[in-house]
Amino acid sequence: MKIYKDLMNLPGVSGNENYVRQYMKKFMEQYNNFEIEYDNLGSIFAVKKSKNPNAITVMVAGHMDEVGFMVANITKNGHIKLQPLGGFMPEVIISQVLNIYTDDGKIIPGIVGSLPPHLRSQNKAQIEDFLLDIGTSSKEETLSLGVKPGQMVLFESNFAYTANNKRIISKAIDNRFGCGLALETIKKFNDIDLDVNLICGATVQEEVGLRGAKTSTKKFSPDIFIALDASPVNDLEDTSFAQLGKGFLLRLHDPRNVMHQGLMKYFVETAKKHKIDYQDFTSKGGTDAAAALDQNSGILATTIGLPARYIHSSAAMLDIYDIKQARKMLFTILSNLNNELYEKIKEGYFD
């Protein structure tokens, strides 16, 4: 799990994914049967051509950015106003320690306070009501430390195994899981000939509008797009239909992507045939697959999901077994796909 630990500990909000991209680039450079390519926003992919000149192209993508903040403004007392990058419930950040990453590589810690209720813009606290206190007494002092608007602000790294060693607690599970599995896929298939062109890596700016998926799918024009992403499960309640430790998530529906029936049948048949545990899943949020779906003349796009508790907060939880099932599913899919099977999937059935 070293790859996942390394990636989850790295800082990288939307538009500031450089630390993650550099880690992925260094890893990809070990595998010389792949060529590294980028889109103009900074999404990074390793590309391996099939020996079949007419092969279809399969694109596999995590996303590098985690939810976080940027410095929006500095008050006259030296406190920091925060701009969220990704979706947060306001109560997630109160009294949390956050780190500012300055341009020269310094990390400046602070603690989040909030205005008293009678000074808030609404009865319910909003993120714009909160201030990050880094211990300075004036705007000038804060500026003298190298702090300025636009800089990345993130929760502290907190990677840890649970006491039973079956689960992981960490920030950025969403979506360094996808980045890690993409890297494992490059390692797995570097010396294996596939019947498809494989494009494997990670996008930028998913949390603020699936932007890197749009630009990168336009660049590579895949026939099939598989997003690797973490999705929230509320399995502390009996009403939840997805749970930690029960397998990867088969994402049937979200607001922008109804799973293609041919893909659904293929995924289900493949999982059953190879004894891979999966869970049917619907979501109120989207993944990069939604952005890929309607690019060009249409791309068959879906998600191999990782169930996770408490995402879009300071720390989330995953089960290692679910990563193993997601990995097995992805590797099996890529090993079996070819042009003939792709045509069958497009027609909506699988034998």
Note the pLDDT tens digit of each residue in 1-30: 899 999 999 999 999 999 999 999 999 999
Q: Looking at 86-100, 157-171, 243-257, 319-333, which range is the least confident one?
A: 86-100
Q: Count CB neighbours of 106 within 10 A.
A: 12
Residue with tokens 């341009």: 103
Name the CA dihedral angle for 65, 68, 74, 75, rounded to a multiple of 10 degrees: 170
For residue 122, pLDDT beyond 80: no
Name 163's Cβ contacts closer than 8 Å, sequence gap at least 6.
none
Q: 229 with 174: CB under 8 angstroms?
A: yes
218, 203, 277: which is closest to 246 by C-alpha?
A: 277
Catalytic residue (choose from 206, 207, 269, 340): 206
Band (pLDDT 50/70/90 cuts) for residue 80 is very high
Band (pLDDT 50/70/90 cuts) for residue 95 is confident
Q: How far is CA 144 from the centre of its chain?
A: 34
Name the DSSP letter for residue 284.
S
Beta bridge partners of 161: 168
Residue with tokens 């990782």: 306
Mind listing the pLDDT tens digit for each residue in 235-269? Answer: 776 656 789 999 999 999 988 899 999 999 999 99
Query: What is the pTM for the complete model shown?
Result: 0.94
Residue 35 is among the residues annotated as catalytic for this protein: no
Mean pLDDT of 267-286: 94
pLDDT at 13: 97
Name 239's Cβ contacts closer than 8 Å, sequence gap at least 6.
none
Instruction: Give the dihedral sign, CA 229/15/106/137.
Output: negative
- Between CA 92 and CA 71 the distance in angstroms is 18
Helix (H) / strand (E) element for 340: namely: helix 339-347
Q: Is 204 helix (H, G, I), strand (E, B) or coil?
A: coil
pLDDT at 350: 57
Band (pLDDT 50/70/90 cuts) for residue 64 is very high
